[in-house]
A and B are shown apart, each in its own frame.
Chain A
Amino acid sequence: MKIAVLSGKGGTGKTLVSVNLAAVAAPSTYIDCDVEEPNGHLFFKPEIVREELITVKIPQVDEERCVGCRECVRFCNYNALAYVNQKLIIFDDVCHSCGGCVLVCPEAALSERDKAIGKIEIGVSGDVSVYTGILNTGEATGIPIIHRLLEEGSDDGNKPVFIDCPPGSACIVMESIKDADYCVLVAEPTLFGAHNLNMVYELVKLFDKPFGVVLNKCLNEENPVDQFCSDKGIEILGRIPFDHELASLNSSAEIVAHKQDEYRELFSSLLETIVKKMGESAGSKRDGVLSDLKKMSGDTVSGERGEALHGSHSTCSDGSVKGVKPKEVRSEAAVDS
């Protein structure tokens, strides 16, 4: 089973959520598809067992053969080719490796060569297999890396897979969630947060994926994201409080669920909720998945089930119903002023 974690922009807590879910679900697989800025490995500090260079095909020109007809330049949708001063110029970093120019050249002056655009690293950190994609700076697209990551990472036994997606809703994100069974959308409870959430919300709707929202940096007050979710009928899976200690542990690249019971319970409870929702959406047509899920939730959740996210540890208001008084609020954990 594959759970993709998305957000409309970077820095909303996408990595916090995916890393800690993978940590509490262990044995599990964590795949970092945010190839432009992979951060998950900083938390897991995995021991690297294997590396693989990822290459793409880039055209090269045989100047003896090229007659300057410009068929290739006209063809290239990405404007990766120019022809000036009787010479073809190829912009490797703009080329999307579609191979079209090689096909259209009437003189067979173009051929393909391999070019490395980045790599994947496969490592282990305790019971978590950690897959990291790294795109070299300036490259046009990380999609080939994500493709390979998911191919490798999903093949790693029957463990649950957590996919840390790139931020935004561009095609690189689509590639990351393509095979996901469930999507977790992470958002901050602000107006911008609602705007960013809307982007990924539309994406998961488009892909017809079951999904739910996790609110990060929650304060004890009404917020535009709650409103957005209740307007759209979107389920809020959990709330991560605006908590000074959590923030500081997280920013020093610690896995918070490993550091404090309170946070472990928070993420265990979130995982349990996700698993339950997945079970509901999987429905009767996928009995096998369902029993896997049940087994998993039994393994991972202990202690105050479900309490951590909704109850006394949280400084969130209790939800989308306006005017409802928040539950008990632990004020000392609230605003980091």
Chain B
Amino acid sequence: MKVAIPADSKSMDSKVCASFGRAPYFVVYDTETKDSVFVENTAASGTGGAGIRAAQIIADQGVGAMLTPRCGQNAADVFRSADIKLYRTNDHSIKENIEAFVKGELPLLEDFHAGFHGRNRGGL
């Protein structure tokens, strides 16, 4: 099965990116072949709906699971429609999170935050 993880840089040793929609890259790792590819997240710089676009990119990679620290409601809807399961990552590196996932140690991610829709209520 292929799994995807948001990455800050193109390295398996880097930490999981805290923001899913705005992550610069996604690692797509194949648990059978143990191959990994870095996919650029073209949604990262777009206006609004970044989570939806990012989820679309991941779904198009044919992955079965997404490992991420958090996820918005809209993106979660895309994942659900695409039959992609979500797992919550921890503070360790991408590599360690994949190992934990393979051992079945990552919990399912079940709470999603509401989108912000690019709103600006002003201030800081």
Residue numbers in B under 8 Å from A251 (CB-CB): none
Evaluate contact between A168 and B123: CB separation under 8 angstroms.
yes
Residue numbers in B under 8 Å from A79 (CB-CB): 43, 46, 48-50, 52-53, 56
Residue numbers in A under 8 Å from B120 (CB-CB): 168-170
* A256 contacts partner chain B, Cβ-Cβ < 8 Å: no
Evaluate contact between A94 and B49: CB separation under 8 angstroms.
yes
Residue numbers in B under 8 Å from A333 (CB-CB): none
Residue numbers in B under 8 Å from A80 (CB-CB): 49, 52
Interface-central residue, B49, B55, B114, B120, by most chain A CB under 10 Å: B49
The contact string, 1 if C-beta is below 8 Å from chain B, for chain A 71-112, is: 001001111111111010101011000000000000000000
* B103 contacts partner chain A, Cβ-Cβ < 8 Å: no
* B117 contacts partner chain A, Cβ-Cβ < 8 Å: yes
**Residues 97-118 of B contacting A (Cβ, < 8 Å):** 114-115, 117
Is chain B's interface secondary structure helix, strand, loop, or mixed overall? loop
Residue numbers in A under 8 Å from B50 (CB-CB): 79
Interchain CB contact (< 8 A) of A77 among B47, B81, B119, B124: B47
Evaluate contact between B117 and A93: CB separation under 8 angstroms.
yes
Q: How many residues of A contact B (CB 8 A)?
A: 33
Q: How many residues of B contact A (CB 8 A)?
A: 26
* A209 contacts partner chain B, Cβ-Cβ < 8 Å: no
Closest to A140 in B: B117
Closest to A77 in B: B47
Evaluate contact between B124 and A192: CB separation under 8 angstroms.
yes
Residue numbers in B under 8 Å from A217 (CB-CB): none
Residue numbers in B under 8 Å from A277 (CB-CB): none
* B18 contacts partner chain A, Cβ-Cβ < 8 Å: no
Alpha-carbon separation in the docked complex, A195 to B121 (Å)? 14
Interchain CB contact (< 8 A) of A195 among B59, B81, B114, B124: B124
* A36 contacts partner chain B, Cβ-Cβ < 8 Å: yes
What residues of chain A have their CB less than 8 Å away from a CB belonging to chain B?
7-10, 36, 73, 76-85, 87, 89, 91, 93-94, 138, 140-141, 166-170, 192, 195-196, 199
